[in-house]
Amino acid sequence: MRTSTVDLVADTPRAAAARRTMAWTTGGLAAAAAVAGGWLAPPDAVQGQAQRLMYLHVPAAWVAYAAFAVVLAAGVAYLITGDLQWDRLARAGAEIGVTLTVVTIATGSLWGHLVWGTWWAWDPRLVSTALLLLAYAGYLALRSAMSERAGTRDGGDHRVARSAAVAGVVGFLLVPVVHFSVVWWRSLHQQATVFAPQRPPIDPRMGVALLLAVAAATLGALCVLLHRAVRLERRGTTGASRAPDRVPARVG
Residues near other proteins, by CB under 8 A? 39, 42-48, 50-51, 54, 114-118, 121-124, 127, 131, 170, 185-188, 190-193, 196, 200-203, 205-206
CB atoms within 10 A of CB 142: 15
CB atoms within 10 A of CB 184: 12
Q: What 8-state DSSP symbol labels residue 53?
A: G
Write the DSSP string, 38-49: IIISPPBTTTBG
CB atoms within 10 A of CB 127: 16
Give the shortest CB-206-to-other proteins separation in angstroms: 5
Give the shortest CB-251-to-other proteins separation in angstroms: 27
If the CB atoms of residues 92 and 175 are measured against other proteins, the closer one turns out to be: 175
From 89, 101, 169, select the one nearest 137 (Cα to Cα): 101
Rounded distance between C-alpha atoms, residue 214 and residue 75, angstroms: 25
SS3 (DSSP) at 213: helix
Give the shortest CB-201-to-other proteins separation in angstroms: 5
Give the shortest CB-187-to-other proteins separation in angstroms: 5
Give the shortest CB-75-to-other proteins separation in angstroms: 15
> Are the beta carbons of 129 and 105 closer than 8 angstroms?
yes
If the CB atoms of residues 111 and 153 are measured against other proteins, the closer one turns out to be: 111
If the CB atoms of residues 30 and 188 are measured against other proteins, the closer one turns out to be: 188
If the CB atoms of residues 1 and 50 are measured against other proteins, the closer one turns out to be: 50
Give the shortest CB-169-to-other proteins separation in angstroms: 11
Rounded distance between C-alpha atoms, residue 174 and residue 96, angstroms: 17
If the CB atoms of residues 59 and 220 are measured against other proteins, the closer one turns out to be: 59
Rounded distance between C-alpha atoms, residue 206 and residue 179, angstroms: 21
> Are the beta carbons of 102 and 67 closer than 8 angstroms?
no
CB atoms within 10 A of CB 174: 18
If the CB atoms of residues 24 and 39 are measured against other proteins, the closer one turns out to be: 39
